Amino acid sequence: VEALKGCVDVLGVDGQCRLSEAARIIEGSGMILQGNVDSYVLKYGTEAEVREAVRNNIDEAGGPGRHIMNLGHGVLQGTPEENVGYFVEEAQSYRGK
């Protein structure tokens, strides 16, 4: 992390790394995390599961405003449009634990 200070503003984290672990590693560095909600949750999940995935992602990154929210592999073909809406709504409105 020290080698990245001043060179990297945002660090993208894939689904293989827990955001809580990445947040711990970069703590105090000034870097922002970009973390991912699993695209399959959007495609196959219920409204409650989509919203929970967003909340968990935000909380693991350290709370609202602590990272950039996105999807691991974008919106997969066949994903219900409603689920994309739930994702966006929750990302915009969730205020943390």
Tell me: the pLDDT tens digits for 61-71?
Answer: 988 888 899 88
Domain span at residue 21 reads 2-93
Higher-pLDDT residue of 95 and 66 is 95
Q: In whole angstroms, what is the distance from residue 13 CA to residue 17 CA?
A: 6
The DSSP H or E segment spanning 84 is: helix 81-93
Q: d(Cα 13, Cα 43) in Å, to the nearest integer?
A: 21
pLDDT band, very low/low/confident/very high, at 14 (cuts 50, 70, 90): confident
Q: Is pLDDT of 50 > 90?
A: yes
What's the structural domain count of the chain? 1
Predicted confidence band of residue 53 (pLDDT cuts 50, 70, 90): very high
**What pTM was computed for the model?**
0.85
